[in-house]
Each structure stands twice: as structure tokens, then as C-alpha cells.
Amino acid sequence: MAEPFGSSPHNNGQAIATAQVNHLPIIAHYARRLGLVEIVNRLVPVEMEVEPGVIVLGMVLDTLSGRSPLYHLESAFESCDRTLLFGQEIPASYFSDDNVGRMLDHLFDAGTQKIFSALSVSGLQRFELSTRHVHFDTTSVNLYGEYLETSGDKVPFEITQGHSKDQRPDLKQFVLSLLCVDGDVPIVGKLEDGNSSDKKINHQVLSEVSRHMKAHGVEDKAFIYIADAAMVTQENLEQAGPFITRLPATYNECERAILSAIDADQWEEVGRIALTAPTPNRPGATYRVHEQTVTLYDQQYRAVVVHSSAHDRRRQKRLERELEASLKAIKAMEKAHLKKQFFCRADAEAAAVEAMAQETAYHQHKLSNASTVRIAPATAHFFACRLCFFSGILPYATEVGCPARGRWLRGSLDLKFC
């Protein structure tokens, strides 16, 4: 443990042992219900006096109370009530760094994935977890320092640079993939190379999850696979059973479906779905949906366009900042053009053509008959776009067009399909 949680004070000449165990008995109780010690003992054969399951339980207790270095694990358990936590009187020397280090090697040799799968199946059965919805996702874990190549031994995964979800491309990493049920209970976990593609990992998981679930009495049609947009490839869609995912905006069908939902303007109100109560600073998002179909790789899928009020608010603030920056930039261009003097009409017309070609995200120049430069009021067009989102009217400005239209809608809407 990160901090000692036991002491042995003396009172009136008699030794009274006390131990502050905090939440650890609760963890130990759930470990017993899970059958952790028995499962690990069965799957990890050793010729040592110490039990693998007890060592694993000790590391679990230590990790969930602050996590000590392995060489401090023995001292961390010296003053605690080991009988209460482990159900038997064991010496603190059980958790010496030599014993724990050797046990980690045995765990690796036995197969950590096999141990994890056995524990997850036990959890599904003993705690009656729902397997109706199966959630999959990955995350990258950053590492610091030098990780040299190992010679001879086959490594389970490669620590290398790849797409960093923490925005740290300068660091090496590995990828952790998890398959969860009943909200957030992991049943399958795997470590991948640091440069692994989420699309390929999804393909591997889709191949394994059916076999894994079927081996434990869950048929293909009995669960729904839920993943992020990395799942959407032709190969994955053909392989998947029932699923829910987000259609990437790189597909033309995504924008078509969103604009079609806006044109139809027939939304079904969902309201708030967050479990946390709204606050004045965070009023909570409300949702509404519109159902239709999309066609991907000659196959039709049910699609739901989802509108979020929270996305609306965030996108509005961002667009207001972009409008302000656009107006400031176009005014600076205007100021530069107005300083120019021309001594013939041909030079003035050439400068006018150059000025008309200059524009910013939401503004462009327009020349009056007097050959002076002014700015078209595109801000009014932006607010027309905001209004058309709710009214279903999609006007285009004749002078500038309406670039805010597409940006606003993509910021406020998302497309889920299954």
C-alpha cells in the first residue's frame, strides 16, 4: 500500500494489535465471491510454497489502496490483518519481492488473457451480468524512458510510437483494448502494439467476440456490438451481427442523411438521458432524433440522426469566435486596399479583381460603383443559418454564399446507424 495501514500500540503493558483496513475487506469479499484465488491457483501451476491466487489477491488489494513498489509489498502487509483479508494466517514474507517477481513470470507463462477470461466468465455467472450490450473501445497508454528491443524472446506487444489519443505523438505507447458488458464491466482485455489500427483491432475483436460469447452460451443475435466510428469498414460491416456505431463524416451518406433530417424537420424528442442531475453551470444536454436509412457498400442500414443541445451551444460559441476573427481579418485587408492610389482605370480594375479574390472564412470584399472597397455583411447570413436549422428553410446568400450552414449543422448533429 502507498501508506502503512496498521500499527501495534501498547496499552498497560499488554500488546494490542490494531489494523486500519479501510475498504480492503469489501474488496476481499468480492474477490471471494468471484473465486479469484481458486481460479488463479487452478490456471497457474507452480512448485512454490506460496499460492499464486493469494499473491494476485495481494496485488489487487495493494493496487486499489495506492499501489506500492514490489519491494515494499512485504512491509505493506506486515501490520495489516492478513487473516481478515486473505481468510488464512499467512506470513508477510509471502509477499517478498522475490516471490512476487517469480509469480509474475508464472502468470505470464500461464497466459494472462486466459486468466482474465476465466475471471470474467466467473463474474458473468456469479453476479448475473447482462450481456445484451457489448461495448468495445481502445485507449493508448503513454510510456516514458527507453524501451530497448529484446532479443530472442517473443514479445506480446510492441512499445512504439503511433496515433496518440492523449495528443503526445512524441512518446512511445501501447494500446489497451477492452470489451465490456453491463455498462462498464470488462470481460475481454488485450494489449496491442502501439501503432495498431483501431479498424484492424475491431476486425479481430468481431472475429473473437462471437466465439467467446458462444463458448459461454450467448448466441450471435443475443447481443449488440457497440463501437466507435473505427468499426465502419466494408469488411467489418459484413462480418458484424447486430451493432450500433457512429457513421464517420468522411462518408457522403452522413451529410446527406443529416441534411435530409433537417429538410424533413420531423424530430422525436428524447429529452435528457444523463444520469447526473443538471446544475446551473452544466444545465445538461437534451436530445432529439430523426430516423431514416443509409446505404453503404450496396447494403441498407437503419440510421438515426441525433441532435444535441449541448453541441449547439458549444458550436455557437465557436462560430461566434470564428466570425469575430473573420471580420477582423477582412477589415485589415480593407484598410490595406483603401490606402492604395491608382492613376489609371486599368490599374484600379486590376486591383479590384485582386481584392475580390481575397476572402476569409465568413466574409469577402465587394466593390461599389465608385471603386471603393466595402465588406459584405455576412454576419447576417450566419444568423439566418442558425434560424434555418430550426425552421427547415435553407437560404443561400447571393453575394457570399453561406459557409456557416454546413459547419453549423455538422457541429450540432451526429449520425448513429445499425
DSSP calls for 78-147 = HTS-HHHHHSS---GGGG-HHHHHHHHHHHHHH-HHHHHHHHHHHHHHHTT---SEEEEEEEEEEE-S--
- Higher pLDDT residue, 264 or 406? 264
297: Cβ contacts below 8 Å, ≥ 6 apart? 234, 237, 238
Which set of grid coordinates corresponds to residue 159?
Answer: 512499445
Which pLDDT belongs to residue 356? 79
Q: Lowest-confidence range among 40-54, 159-173, 349-363?
A: 349-363
Q: What percent of the chain has pLDDT over 70?
A: 79
Interval 61-88: pLDDT, tens: 988 888 778 888 888 888 788 888 898 8
Cα distance between residue 6 and residue 389, in whole Å: 63
DSSP 299-311: EEEEEEEEEEHHH
Which pLDDT belongs to residue 203? 77
Q: pLDDT band at residue 286, thresholds of 50, 70 and 90? A: confident
Mean pLDDT, the chain, as a whole number?
Answer: 77
Q: pLDDT band at residue 57, thresholds of 50, 70 and 90? A: very high
Which pLDDT belongs to residue 158? 83
Which pLDDT belongs to residue 47? 85
Q: pLDDT band at residue 206, thresholds of 50, 70 and 90? A: confident
pLDDT greater than 60 at residue 117: yes
Q: Lowest-confidence range among 6-20, 64-78, 185-199, 289-303?
A: 6-20
Cα distance between residue 348 and residue 354, in whole Å: 10
Which pLDDT belongs to residue 397? 28
Cα separations in angstroms, 82 against 56, 143, 214: 14, 34, 40
Separation of first and last alpha carbons in the chain? 46
Q: pLDDT band at residue 161, thresholds of 50, 70 and 90? A: confident
Which run of H or of E encompasses 335? helix 309-338
Interval 368-412: pLDDT, tens: 654 443 333 333 322 222 222 222 222 222 223 333 434 444 444
Which pLDDT belongs to residue 69? 81
Answering whether pTM is above 0.85, one says no
Cα distance between residue 202 and residue 232, in whole Å: 9
Which pLDDT belongs to residue 150? 60
Across 207-229, average pLDDT: 74
Per the CB < 8 A criterion, the answer to whether 224 and 134 are in contact is yes
pLDDT greater than 70 at residue 151: no
Helix axes 112-126, 24-34, angle to 10 degrees: 90
pLDDT greater than 80 at residue 231: yes
- Higher pLDDT residue, 148 or 30? 30
Q: pLDDT band at residue 59, thresholds of 50, 70 and 90? A: very high
Most confident of 143-147, 223-227, 411-415: 223-227
pLDDT greater than 50 at residue 10: no
Cα distance between residue 76 and residue 67, in whole Å: 10
Q: Lowest-confidence range among 161-165, 298-302, 371-375?
A: 371-375
Cα distance between residue 198 and residue 192, in whole Å: 10
Per the CB < 8 A criterion, the answer to whether 178 and 192 are in contact is no
Which pLDDT belongs to residue 43? 94
